[in-house]
């Protein structure tokens, strides 16, 4: 029961994200259960979490949560997509069978791809719960944000504000939210990024311009602090034209300009003052 806990008012966090990012759909709070007994199941039901009515893919559950506001939990028995279930550690995957549907040039390349995608070790997770962040009745292990690239830029700026590194992402958008965002973020405890895969786009009607950012629990506090601190240095919506037009020397702060650009801007300013 310790896994079903709540330390922060996530409704307040949700309000900040929705107001500042203007997201189309709700951020999703994700909880991974390493053990899932009857008491935990009962507690989730009292919190109005539901099991899928029939087997679904991970991306379908995430979509129901972010677009319709439902709260769900699922185990291996509730999963339809073997890849999504396997990468979250809920079941084994027979790679020799699944390889037939992977779009690589050769069977060997497809086999290697399935071997190398991020996977939570089998048995480490028994169940997963997903809820809209505004309804989260527990501290999430991860928050998923579906957004457009400009909104993702704002999230990145907040996440790295207290860091000396720029994040690097490895993804192919073939197993987007389940493996490249959820499983990778769970394993690395770092921010993760991908795009909805073909299966998600066909089954869940993802928008053409949507990307996915995952933020692990251990980074959420620094992310929220960074979000406040970068409100003016990296705002959203991004103001257009504040540094000039597309075909003129940008009026960046002088520290960012080359000497040639400074001379050009200086000459233009002098000419304009005559």
pLDDT (tens digit, 0 to 9) for every residue of the chain, 274 residues total?
Answer: 444 455 578 888 899 899 999 999 999 999 999 999 999 999 999 999 999 999 999 999 999 999 999 999 999 999 999 999 999 999 999 999 999 888 889 999 999 999 999 999 999 999 999 999 999 988 999 999 999 999 999 999 998 887 766 777 888 888 999 999 999 999 999 999 999 999 999 999 899 999 999 999 998 888 888 998 999 889 999 888 888 889 989 988 889 999 999 988 886 665 555 4
Give me the pLDDT at residue 6, please. Answer: 57
Give me the pLDDT at residue 272, please. Answer: 55
The answer to whether position 234 is within a domain reads no
The answer to whether position 105 is within a domain reads yes
Q: For the chain, what is the total number of helices (H) and then of strands (E)?
A: 11, 6
Nearest CA among 230, 232, 221 for reference residue 157: 230
Nearest CA among 227, 215, 219, 217 for reference residue 161: 227
Burial of 26 (0-12, 13-18, 19+ CB in 10 A): buried
* Structural domains of the chain, count: 2
Give me the pLDDT at residue 208, please. Answer: 95
Same domain, residue pair 168 and 258? no
Report d(CA 129, CA 141) in Å as an integer. 10
Report d(CA 235, CA 226) in Å as an integer. 12
Collect all residues with Cβ–Cβ distance below 8 Å to 274 and sequence separation of at least 6: none
Cβ atoms of 221 and 189 closer than 8 Å: no
Query: Which residue in the block uniquely carries the two structure tokens 């089954």?
Result: 203
Cβ atoms of 1 and 39 closer than 8 Å: yes
Give me the pLDDT at residue 243, please. Answer: 87
- For residue 33, report the phi and psi dihedrals to the nearest 5 degrees: -105, 120
The answer to whether position 2 is within a domain reads no
Cβ atoms of 30 and 130 closer than 8 Å: yes
Same domain, residue pair 258 and 221? no
Burial of 102 (0-12, 13-18, 19+ CB in 10 A): middle
Nearest CA among 233, 190, 227 for reference residue 19: 227
Q: Which domain holds residue 153?
A: 10-229
Same domain, residue pair 183 and 272? no
Same domain, residue pair 104 and 191? yes
> Alpha-carbon torsion 15, 20, 21, 22, what sign?
positive
Same domain, residue pair 144 and 21? yes
The answer to whether position 235 is within a domain reads no
Count CA atoms closer than 13 A to 193's CA, side-chain side.
15
Same domain, residue pair 156 and 261? no
Q: Can you give the pTM of this predicted structure?
A: 0.91
Same domain, residue pair 101 and 130? yes
């Amino acid at each position: 029961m310790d896994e079903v806990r709540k330390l922060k008012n996530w409704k307040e966090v949700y309000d900040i994200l929705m107001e500042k990012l203007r997201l189309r759909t709700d951020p999703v709070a994700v909880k991974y259960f390493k053990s899932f007994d009857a008491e935990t199941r009962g507690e989730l039901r009292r919190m109005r979490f539901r099991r899928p009515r029939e087997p679904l893919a991970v991306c379908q559950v995430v979509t129901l949560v972010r677009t319709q506001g439902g709260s769900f939990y699922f185990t291996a028995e509730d999963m339809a997509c073997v890849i999504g279930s396997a990468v979250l550690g809920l079941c084994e995957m027979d790679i020799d069978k699944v390889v037939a549907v992977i779009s690589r040039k050769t069977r060997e390349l497809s086999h290697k791809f399935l071997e190398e995608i991020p996977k939570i070790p089998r048995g480490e997770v028994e169940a997963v719960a997903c809820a809209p962040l505004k309804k989260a009745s527990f501290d999430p292990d991860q928050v998923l944000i579906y957004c457009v690239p400009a909104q993702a830029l704002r999230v990145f700026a907040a996440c790295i504000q207290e860091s000396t590194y720029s994040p690097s992402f490895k993804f192919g958008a073939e197993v987007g939210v389940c493996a490249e965002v959820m499983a990778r973020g769970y394993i690395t405890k770092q921010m993760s990024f991908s795009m909805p895969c073909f299966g998600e786009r066909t089954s869940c009607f993802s928008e053409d311009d949507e990307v996915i950012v995952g933020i692990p629990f251990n980074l959420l506090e620094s992310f929220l602090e960074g979000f406040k601190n970068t409100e003016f240095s990296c705002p959203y919506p991004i103001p257009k034209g504040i540094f000039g037009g597309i075909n003129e020397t940008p009026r960046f702060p002088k520290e960012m300009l080359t000497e040639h650009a400074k001379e050009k801007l200086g000459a233009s300013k002098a000419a304009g003052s005559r």
